[in-house]
Structure 1
Amino acid sequence: MSETAKPSDAYRLPTDVRPKHYDITVRTDLVKETFEGVVKIDLEVVRPTASIVLNAAANLVLTPASLSTPTVTQLAPIETSYDESTQRISYTFPQELPKDNKITLRIGFAAPLTGSMSGYYKSAWDKGIYSLTQFEPTKARRALPCWDEPLLKATFDVTLISRAGLVSLSNMPALATPAAPQAGDEALYAGVEAKEWVATKFETTPPMSTYLLAYANGPFAHLESSYKSPLSGKVRPLRIYTTPDLIHQGQFALDVKAKALPLYEQVFDVEFPLPKLDTLVASDFDSGAMENWGLITGRTNAYLLDPNNPDMRAKKQIAGGQSHEVAHMWFGNITTMAWWDNLYLKEGFATVMGQSIILDKIFPEWKVDSEFINNILDEALALDAKPSSHPIEVECPDANNVNQIFDALSYAKAASVLRMLSKYVGEDKFLQGASIYLKKHLYANSVSRDLWEAIGEATGIDIPNLMDNWVSKIGFPVLTVTDTETGIRVRQDRFFEDGPAKPEDNQTIWTVPLGLLTTSQPGQAIVNNEAVLSEREAEFRLDTSKPFKLNADTNGVFRVLYSPERLAAIATEAAKSDTLFTLNDRMGLINDAMALSKAGLLKVSAALNLVYNLREEKEFLVWSGISSNLGIVLSTWWENDHIVELLNSFRKQLFAPIVNKLGYQYSKAETADITQLRTLSITQAARGGDPVVVKELQDRFAKYIAGDKSAIPADLLTVTFHTAAVHGGAEGYEAIVKIYDHPDTPSVKTAAIRALGATPDSELMEKTFSMIRTRSRNQDVMYFFYGLNQNFKARKPLRAFFEKHYDEFVTRFEATFTLKRLVKGTYAGFSAEKDREQTEAFFKGKDTSRYDQGLAQALDGIKAKTAWIERSTSDAQEWLENWEKTSTKL
């Protein structure tokens, strides 16, 4: 039987017996770097059975299990077996367990605390270690035996025993009464009476999935705030914890959490159900952050901000991340997907709510709905355009492979589809539907149709018919627009990044809200949000002699292809100071043009011409899209020195005038747009090699390393360090190493890591490679890889380094999300057929099951760029050479 044909019970736990309540006691020894404990699980017997099957990872040492029933104090199994491939332990008992009987399973467990960033693990700081959990998606089984599936919710009592003087945290508040040992657990409480150890018992949780269970122990300091529920008037404490040396950087994240919680309660009309909400910031963390109920966790650069020198990019990252995790307190925690194939129900919703709808209410000046287009929608479309993409609702029967679907499709595409739906039905109705959905599934599990039916109830629209193909089918459409005598004809086909869809890959018909923008008689924009394309092609009446465009405000999850003549007319309108097209429209036009040129549906010269026509643009986010798309062209033709040189000249001419206008000084009084436009322009001009900007940044770096930290504003740390690494030789490199060893903030450290990958010197590159292996935190390795991949001179050496130490990386990151990131970070930059062949040859015969999707996406990307180069090199070169001849030199 093939893997896809396996019955579901080959992957899912039997449901004859289900957990109702866990009583967990964990003793953590940070000196010996070990933990041990016991779990007592109250069970519901759904069907009479003599066997119990649950999850336990191989790292746990388990004591013999025993059952207690109303008639038997201890019932030992007659047979115990373990399947390492499924991480399941099976117990067979001498008699059948009757239905509905009160039964408790008891198992002891122990394991070392490792730096795996998975399960219950250790994190290091300057004065020692501390411990914390990371259980999503299937790593609770690395900390205790349990039913480690999202459907199998239960309540939890947690008791943590630790050395005196440390802080213990869990999902719920600690009880005032010290924990006392139960019969059989006395050994875990050794030293408690002598006050060398402390036992902390926490309140009982609501019903929840095991992946949301959390606890931690260490020398934590905290900041405290609170919020008042707009629904009940209750005041709940809010805290942020981390080590004492970092806690002063936690205030901004705490403030965002205090602002976000009452907003979520209002829009969902469901009160936050726990008595507190903590955030724990860790120095070693695999993902960005994790939404454990009542105890959010995350890495330092996801939550910490220097209050004396904050940078805008970090502020936005922290605010969006904190708001995203708070959204999960409802979407994911109160109502949980039934299985991981519906991961998007929580991640897509948390992304659109946390990083757009709610964040916009907290920071309206940030224009986060517009930023969504560049940062989330375009990322989703770029990944979904690959042949190796997958549907939002993706089959993932084997829990061993769940890590792979934590990608831009489950997050960004799902969020983009939900945003499109919200814009189509109206945000108020959309949120009303979300509220209905939550209330119908409080403390329960759900699937896609539950959400669609709830939004349908709020809107009166057949939402399943509208949305099913967007989540169940792979890909998205490109809409081809042609003029007719009475208006336009619109045709939909599946979009691929490497060329037109083949008939066999072009079967899906999406229901597409067109967002048709036309012009009224007085010359005002009119948007028809009711126009929908639900067939292969259809005609729509409008006056084509006046400006129009599809996908008004770039709300839709599709690309739009116009004729060259129509695109030129749209570009002319977009460049006007009083244009009909909004900021969102102009951003979408740029992103579409470059993606369509990559796919061979539009000349790259047309995309470059659109960019050049917008050179008088004032908005940061349009310029951000321009810089990203020029970066895509550069990264494709990276081995063509002539085109790279021309593109760098093009970048300099576009961005250096903005630098001249805005200068290098930041002001608290200026808008967020001006701050970000200054940073972007300096970055682009410097990376394009503008000598004036490079010299300015080198001078500032010299002052910085001489002790004047004010010489580099926080927003310029990344580009200044990068410039020092590129132009500063060994002296600049070693100065950055010292900064890396003693960073003032997480942002400083990340900027230093990326800069260490930017050196063009091969000997210095080898030092960076050595640093990755010998003295980098596991959580930081991906930043090293990203910095190296962006350095054209380092791409091939990075590949050689990764392949030489492949087995080491697999072992080091086996249980984390990091391995797939390293694979993509190593190979996605290549754009020649020989590189694709070499990549395939290296991985042939290897077990790629934990990252095969990321590898396939990297290979698809190489193939698409190879085709783009073959198709468009002469066109790109001709346009750039003509621009260079005719443009006004700086």
Structure 2
Amino acid sequence: MSTNTADESKYRLPTNVKPIHYNITIKTDLETQEFQGYTTVDLNVLEDTSSLVFNTTKLNIHDVVVHSEAQKSQETQTVNTDFDQKLERAIVQVANPLKKGSKVQLRVWFDGKITDELMGYYTSSYEDNGKKIYYALTQFEPTAARRAFPSWDEPLLKATFDITLISRAETVSLSNMPAASEDSLDGTTDEIIGKFFKDSDPAGWKVTKFETTPPMSTYIVAYANGPFKHLETSYTSPLSGKKRTLRVYATSDLIDQTKFGLDVGAKVLPEYEKVFDIEYPLPKLDTLVAHDFDAGAMENWGLITGRTTAYCVDEERADVSAKRQIASTQSHEVAHMWFGNITTMSWWDNLWLNEGFATLMGEVIILNKIFPEWKVYASFYIEHTESALSLDAKRSSHPIQVAVPNAEDINQIFDSLSYSKAASVLRMLSVYVGEEKFLKGVSIYLKKHLYANSVAEDLWRGIQEATGLDIPELMNNWILKTGFPVVTVTETPEGIHLRQGRFFETGDVTEEENSTIWQIPLTILSTDADGKTTIDNKAILKTREMTYKLDVNKPWKINAGNTGFYRVLYTPERLKKLGEEALRPGTAFTVPDRLGLVSDAISLASSGLGSTSGALSLISGMRGETDYLSWSGIASQLSRISRVWWDQGDNTRDDMQTFLRGLFTPIVRRLGYEYPKGEDVDNVQLRTLAIGNAANAGAKEVVEKLQEWFAEYAKTKSLDHIPPDLVRATFTAAGKYGGKHEWEVLRDTYLAAPNPTARTASISGLTAVKEPELQKATMDFILSGVRTQDIFYFMVYMGRSVAFGRETWHYLQRNYDELDKRFEGNFQITYCVEYAAFLLNSDKDAEDFTAFFKDKDTSKLTMILPQSLDGIRAKSGWLKRSKDDVIHWLEEWRKSNSIEPKI
């Protein structure tokens, strides 16, 4: 269902013409960092009109001509071209009206700057023997194609593209399709090409013409030019037997670290073809790795682009988390070759059709086929569902499918609701109907919309055809309504009584806010008289409340497997029994079940619907847990509490650190610091998690070990003696417990890191420092020595750092105007605001936050500002309700347990 409103019409292009084909020629001059272009756009005239309106911004437009087959004269010169800077449009008035049903060609010459703004056609760079080398690439999603060439820059307006790139002879040119030809320009007779060199010599230049694309939206058009190297492999289509070339391109300093992502692409492509029963349609698929990139990666059809941290890894010294990041990213982007590229949302309100599916398919269903040892079905809850539940519990949340009338609104919905909530409710649906039928329905949907556009109803029809169920009735409220339910469960003599109501992180809800009734798959685990457990995947709560028969004296649980997008509120007595059952040998409760118990307990405590001390007792009782994912969930939930109680005095902070040391140091002692070859991945990740958390909590023996490693690194600049999985923990400990010398080593590492893992680890260390003068040095460094794409990493790490406390917020206040200018038009300013507010936890903080933005232009922040403010108020409310409860519980725990020594 489209959510477009009448108000949105002024932001959408007129529907009087439709582009059919673009022929685009771009001349790239990396020396002057400028480009020139010429494009012809073939148009079908759908209504009589005297004007053509298309998107353009940041371009110098000149020599505009309209040619019409319906006119007797060969060309109709434009009489006037106006520009609407706010709406980023050109309005071309023609002398002779264009008739409905006729064909028209728009011809435009243009030029522009290759900027460093990480969008449109922009520049990136690297150093080679002390010399800065530049290259150029595109980033068009969502609305930046108009910065590179005049276009009808809306996803519904698909067309085919012929792209020609003119470049220096020694460079490499790339685009969506394979090169059809590449020739020197010496002696060229091409009239259009010649016009690019009317005032210069074409010697030393070349022209690369690429094959025609299938019909596609402008935001996935891509091209690049620079001194690229490549690695190559291939895969064979399981559907046709056709062999396709896969390449990864990068500059010479990166190319040796890109093979893993290339190999992942070769493994997942045939799996997608089999699942969708649709062959990948292009002759090739390239990936270009860039030093400077706004997002993580971008699914341009046939030419994926991404940042170094998303694609580069030293395989000989690769840590598991880096490999998982790369594999997830590449599989996600390859999923878009179908979801988004072959079948594209009609408008950005259906962005979730692209991103939710790419998240579920790419990071779970397909990735599990390639790396089953990573347990991605279980980790999905932590990595996606948890973050989406957190955002959707705010009053300022928005529906998955939300109206986005203008470009500034579009940028803001690339959030955990469009990605993670969408993926989570789709997974909930797949469990309810069965994954095989779900994927069959998805295949039906894609086949009915090949090379076309779609809306949510089209997807529901496909799954409905495969299942025979009323999918719109089941799913519409999950997609179209804000928020999610909490299911309150009470026990009766015959079973359980369930009641649904909307959940807020603040715990309060009005009658009006509680009007939505969701259809909730309950997924009930129960045990019969013989001790056999079963899971009822078909039980569904369609009304406000219902009863369900089961034996409450035997183990049971709602939301088995934790695949539902909701919270469950049990009585304190039942929660205690569930915790005991979760740790019983041979329990039917899975790791996701245990994750869900802890997560629900903390979230319900934060809202006032449960007890925070009771949730802490549940966690304390799980000290015998041996599974990495369970501990990952525990660490995440304890971090939530720490973020609220961080400034409640040294004794409280010390008691929390003592609790953390008591949980994680024993694991370190059990697993040690070595990573035996061939070790189970779960143990690898658990050791890494335990050492990082123990060190962060000040465990003396752990910190001293990491400091010893860092001291050796500072002398030798070699990482060979540090296990790859512990580089970040080592660098973080060096920053947190070190001084100026360690800070300088970390800074120098950032500036000349041997790989992205070391660079990210150095950022973690630089933002962990405790001394005020070192914190100032880090903050000064951000705007003087940090790549633009990495600033938000610094803000994220600083925002999470208790050592920095409110300094991150003060830093944003001091530098907001410069940061806002640096990130004009892209995503990163929202992250800066979000994490600057991450530790703010009082009513005074909320007042200061509101006052600071009162006189600012916040048109790009209409979602993140209220969400951040809601978060501050929620933390303040939690602290007021549970301050003494938590402080007392931590004191009692310390008194009753042996205290691990701290640094």
State the TM-score, normalizing by the size of structure 1. 0.98
CA deviation after TM superposition for structure 1 residue 8, in Å? 3.4
CA deviation after TM superposition for structure 1 residue 184, in Å? 4.0
Structure 2 equivalent of residue 363 of structure 1: 371
Answer whether contact 2:442 2:463 (CA < 8 A) is retained.
yes
Which whole-Å CA distance do the structure 1 matches of 2:855 and 2:77 have between them?
A: 44
Structure 2 equivalent of residue 466 of structure 1: 474
Structure 2 equivalent of residue 309 of structure 1: 317
1:601-633 CA distance string (max 9 Å, x none): 110011111111111111000000000110110
Picking from 695, 716, 720, the partner of 1:710 is 720
Which whole-Å CA distance do the structure 1 matches of 2:849 and 2:533 have between them?
A: 50
Structure 2 equivalent of residue 807 of structure 1: 817
CA deviation after TM superposition for structure 1 residue 376, in Å? 0.4
CA deviation after TM superposition for structure 1 residue 5, in Å? 7.0
Which whole-Å CA distance do the structure 2 matches of 1:478 and 1:837 have between them?
A: 30
- Higher mean displacement: 362-371 or 795-804: 795-804
Q: State whether structure 2 residue 304 is matched by structure 1 residue 279.
A: no
Answer whether contact 1:830 1:862 (CA < 8 A) is retained.
yes
Q: Please list, as runs of the form range in 1=range in 2, the aligned pairs for 1:124-203 lying within 5 A after superposition.
A: 124-127=125-128, 128-176=133-181, 178=183, 182-188=190-196, 195-203=203-211
Q: Please list, as runs of the form range in 1=range in 2, the aligned pairs for 1:685-700 lying within 5 A after superposition.
A: 685-700=694-709
CA deviation after TM superposition for structure 1 residue 316, in Å? 0.5
Which whole-Å CA distance do the structure 2 matches of 1:872 and 1:97 have between them?
A: 70
Answer whether contact 2:275 2:443 (CA < 8 A) is retained.
yes
CA deviation after TM superposition for structure 1 residue 795, in Å? 3.1
Which whole-Å CA distance do the structure 2 matches of 1:190 and 1:570 have between them?
A: 79
Answer whether contact 2:182 2:206 (CA < 8 A) is retained.
no
1:611-669 CA distance string (max 9 Å, x none): 11111111000000000110110011110132221111111011101100111111231
Unaligned runs of 5+ in 2: none
Structure 2 equivalent of residue 651 of structure 1: 660
Unaligned runs of 5+ in 1: none
Which whole-Å CA distance do the structure 1 matches of 2:724 and 2:200 have between them?
A: 47
Structure 2 equivalent of residue 27 of structure 1: 27
Alignment-mate amino acid for residue 755 of structure 1: G
1:705-752 CA distance string (max 9 Å, x none): 221422222211111111101111111111111111210001111111
Please give the secondary structure, in 1, of the residue aligned with 2:805: helix
Please give the secondary structure, in 2, of the residue aligned with 1:669: coil
Picking from 707, 710, 733, the partner of 1:701 is 710
Structure 2 equivalent of residue 53 of structure 1: 53
Which whole-Å CA distance do the structure 2 matches of 1:868 and 1:687 have between them?
A: 24
Answer whether contact 2:800 2:835 (CA < 8 A) is retained.
no
Structure 2 equivalent of residue 530 of structure 1: 538
Answer whether contact 2:161 2:214 (CA < 8 A) is retained.
yes
Which whole-Å CA distance do the structure 1 matches of 2:758 and 2:668 have between them?
A: 23
1:682-714 CA distance string (max 9 Å, x none): 001001100000000000101112214222222
CA deviation after TM superposition for structure 1 residue 189, in Å? 5.2
CA deviation after TM superposition for structure 1 residue 81, in Å? 1.1
Which whole-Å CA distance do the structure 2 matches of 1:466 and 1:6 have between them?
A: 28
Q: State whether structure 2 residue 361 is matched by structure 1 residue 384.
A: no
Which whole-Å CA distance do the structure 2 matches of 1:184 and 1:225 have between them?
A: 36
Structure 2 equivalent of residue 441 of structure 1: 449
Please give the secondary structure, in 2, of the residue aligned with 1:77: strand
Picking from 867, 870, 881, the partner of 2:891 is 881
Which whole-Å CA distance do the structure 1 matches of 2:110 and 2:622 have between them?
A: 63
Structure 2 equivalent of residue 772 of structure 1: 782
CA deviation after TM superposition for structure 1 residue 7, in Å? 3.6
Q: State whether structure 2 residue 27 is matched by structure 1 residue 18.
A: no
**Does the C-alpha gap of structure 1 residues 610 and 291 become closer, same or farther in structure 2, counting only changes over 3 Å?**
same
CA deviation after TM superposition for structure 1 residue 271, in Å? 0.4
CA deviation after TM superposition for structure 1 residue 400, in Å? 3.0
Q: State whether structure 2 residue 500 is matched by structure 1 residue 501.
A: no
Structure 2 equivalent of residue 483 of structure 1: 491
Q: Percent identity?
A: 50
CA-atom RMSD, angstroms? 1.4
Structure 1 equivalent of residue 266 of structure 2: 258
Q: State whether structure 2 residue 97 is matched by structure 1 residue 96.
A: yes
Which whole-Å CA distance do the structure 2 matches of 1:458 and 1:191 have between them?
A: 63
Answer whether contact 1:493 1:536 (CA < 8 A) is retained.
yes
Please give the secondary structure, in 2, of the residue aligned with 1:504: coil
Which whole-Å CA distance do the structure 2 matches of 1:432 and 1:98 have between them?
A: 44
Answer whether contact 1:754 1:787 (CA < 8 A) is retained.
yes
Please give the secondary structure, in 1, of the residue aligned with 2:554: coil
Which whole-Å CA distance do the structure 2 matches of 1:190 and 1:157 have between them?
A: 23
Answer whether contact 1:291 1:297 (CA < 8 A) is retained.
yes
Answer whether contact 1:161 1:188 (CA < 8 A) is retained.
no
Alignment-mate amino acid for residue 629 of structure 1: Q
Which whole-Å CA distance do the structure 1 matches of 2:823 and 2:565 have between them?
A: 34
Structure 2 equivalent of residue 87 of structure 1: 88
Which whole-Å CA distance do the structure 1 matches of 2:313 and 2:232 have between them?
A: 16
**Does the C-alpha gap of structure 1 residues 192 and 177 become closer, same or farther in structure 2, counting only changes over 3 Å?**
farther
Alignment-mate amino acid for residue 96 of structure 2: Q
1:28-70 CA distance string (max 9 Å, x none): 000111111111100110111111000001x111113101223
Alignment-mate amino acid for residue 871 of structure 2: G
Please give the secondary structure, in 2, of the residue aligned with 1:333: coil
Q: State whether structure 2 residue 790 is matched by structure 1 residue 791.
A: no
Structure 1 equivalent of residue 874 of structure 2: 864
CA deviation after TM superposition for structure 1 residue 182, in Å? 4.9
Q: Please list, as runs of the form range in 1=range in 2, the aligned pairs for 1:271-350 lying within 5 A after superposition.
A: 271-350=279-358
Alignment-mate amino acid for residue 149 of structure 1: E
1:549-576 CA distance string (max 9 Å, x none): 1000001000000000111111110121
Alignment-mate amino acid for residue 875 of structure 1: D
Q: State whether structure 2 residue 8 is matched by structure 1 residue 8.
A: yes
Which whole-Å CA distance do the structure 2 matches of 1:182 and 1:564 have between them?
A: 80
Picking from 737, 746, 756, the partner of 1:736 is 746
Q: State whether structure 2 residue 109 is matched by structure 1 residue 108.
A: yes
Q: State whether structure 2 residue 234 is matched by structure 1 residue 226.
A: yes
Structure 2 equivalent of residue 555 of structure 1: 563
CA deviation after TM superposition for structure 1 residue 761, in Å? 1.3
CA deviation after TM superposition for structure 1 residue 371, in Å? 0.4
Structure 2 equivalent of residue 754 of structure 1: 764
Q: Please list, as runs of the form range in 1=range in 2, the aligned pairs for 1:236-255 lying within 5 A after superposition.
A: 236-255=244-263
Picking from 825, 844, 861, the partner of 1:851 is 861
Please give the secondary structure, in 2, of the residue aligned with 1:602: coil
Please give the secondary structure, in 2, of the residue aligned with 1:132: strand
Please give the secondary structure, in 1, of the residue aligned with 2:705: helix
Please give the secondary structure, in 1, of the residue aligned with 2:63: coil
